[in-house]
Every structure is written in C-alpha cells, then in structure tokens.
C-alpha cells in the first residue's frame, strides 16, 4: 500500500484550480454576509436627539422651533401621569378645561379619561417636534419610542398646549392629546 504525500500529488488541472477559487470566494462572501447580518441585528439604529427638520414636496424645509421650557415641563408631566395612567389625579392641574370638559376632579382621578394611554414604563425615549406655535398656543408632534426588545411599535401623538392666566400666574395646560394616524403601506403580495 502506498501513501500519497502532498509532494507526490499531481499538479491540479484548470478545473480543480477554478473549483478551489470558487470555494474560497464562496467562503469570503459567507464571511462578509455574516458580518453584515450581525451588524444589522445588533446595531442600535434608534435615532437620537430631536426629530429632524421636515422637508415638504415643494422643497421648503421647516426646522423645529423652540418651545417655552414651562410648556415642555407641562407636556412631560402630562405624559408621565395622564398618558401613563399613573397618579392620574395629579394630571388634573395640567389639563385645560377644554380637555377635561364634562369631568369632575373625582371622575378624572379614576383614570377613565379622554386621553389615549401608552405604557410609559416601556419607553426608552420621548421626542417632540413643534408642529404649530403661536404666542399662547403650541402643538407638538410627540414620538414615544419603546425600549429595544419591547414588542411595541413607536407611536406618534399630537399634543396641544394653551397658555392660561395673566401676569405671574401664567402657565401652560394641555388641551389636546391624540394619536397621529398614518396609513400602513401594504406589502407587495405578488
């Protein structure tokens, strides 16, 4: 019985060389594909910072406007209480009479209120963009982005605020909160 050593092997022909190069190429493509797949799966693609400027079909761009910090604070407290359905009674003082019309303070405190809820405990980030701004009113587009791994879609809401009172007694109250509806684009079924 004879043993064939690497030195005794015949020189590969053209077809064998081609097969070796194809095999090496396939391994390289597999390695690159694996890296791309792992990057896509584990890369944190959640955008950070304020919502970007909006570009309209006519080419006009609107950048986010600044909002009174007191209005931002009222909006944040409203989301943490009324929207989250936690300590709802404390949200009574944050809500404009237009939104709480027909409710007593005791009824409002029970949590059956005209405010679309969202589980705030599962939120990683809240962002807003100013949709409209007037001297005593502001409308915000609020994006609630869930924690990674939570099986919830991000949700966008419209939040309206009105400045009430006079002099040193001026303060912002929430007068509108509603989910922003967007049409789902159907997937191609063909």
pLDDT along the chain (190 residues), means of 10: 60 79 83 73 54 65 73 92 93 94 93 90 84 90 87 89 92 93 66
- Taking the C-alpha atoms of residue 116 and residue 176, their distance in angstroms, rounded to an integer, is 10
Residue found by looking up tokens 């869930």 in the block: 146
Q: Which CATH class is domain 66-179?
A: alpha beta
For CA atoms 35, 37, 42, 47, give the dihedral sign.
positive
pLDDT value for 118: 87
- How many C-beta atoms lie closer than 10 Å to residue 29's C-beta? 10
Ramachandran angles phi, psi of 12, nearest 5°: -65, 145
- Taking the C-alpha atoms of residue 78 and residue 149, their distance in angstroms, rounded to an integer, is 26
Nearest Cα to Cα of residue 144 among 80, 100, 60, 61:
80
Q: Three-state DSSP class for 179?
A: strand
pLDDT value for 19: 83
Nearest Cα to Cα of residue 120 among 170, 95, 85:
85
- Taking the C-alpha atoms of residue 127 and residue 148, their distance in angstroms, rounded to an integer, is 16
- Taking the C-alpha atoms of residue 117 and residue 109, their distance in angstroms, rounded to an integer, is 14
Residue 12 near residue 20 (C-beta atoms within 8 A):
yes
The reported pTM is 0.62
Q: Hey, where are the domains in the chain?
A: 12-42, 66-179
pLDDT value for 122: 81
pLDDT value for 159: 95
Residue 121 near residue 84 (C-beta atoms within 8 A):
yes
């Amino acid at each position: 019985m004879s043993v064939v050593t690497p030195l005794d092997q015949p020189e590969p022909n053209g077809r064998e060389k081609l097969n070796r190069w194809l095999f090496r190429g396939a391994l390289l493509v597999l390695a690159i594909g694996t890296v791309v797949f792992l990057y896509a799966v584990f890369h944190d693609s959640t955008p950070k910072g304020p919502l970007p400027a909006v570009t309209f079909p006519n080419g006009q761009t609107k950048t986010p406007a600044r909002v009174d910090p007191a209005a931002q604070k009222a909006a944040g407290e409203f989301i943490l209480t009324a929207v989250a359905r936690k300590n709802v009674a404390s949200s009574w003082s944050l809500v404009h009479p237009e939104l709480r019309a027909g409710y007593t303070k005791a009824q409002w405190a029970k949590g059956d209120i005209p405010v679309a809820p969202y589980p705030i405990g599962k939120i990683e980030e809240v962002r807003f963009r100013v949709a409209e701004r007037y001297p005593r009113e502001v409308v915000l587009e609020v994006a609630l982005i869930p924690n990674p791994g939570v099986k919830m879609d991000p949700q966008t809401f419209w939040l309206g605020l009105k400045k009430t009172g006079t002099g040193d007694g001026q303060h912002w109250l929430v007068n509108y909160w509603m989910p922003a509806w967007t049409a789902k684009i159907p997937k191609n079924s063909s």
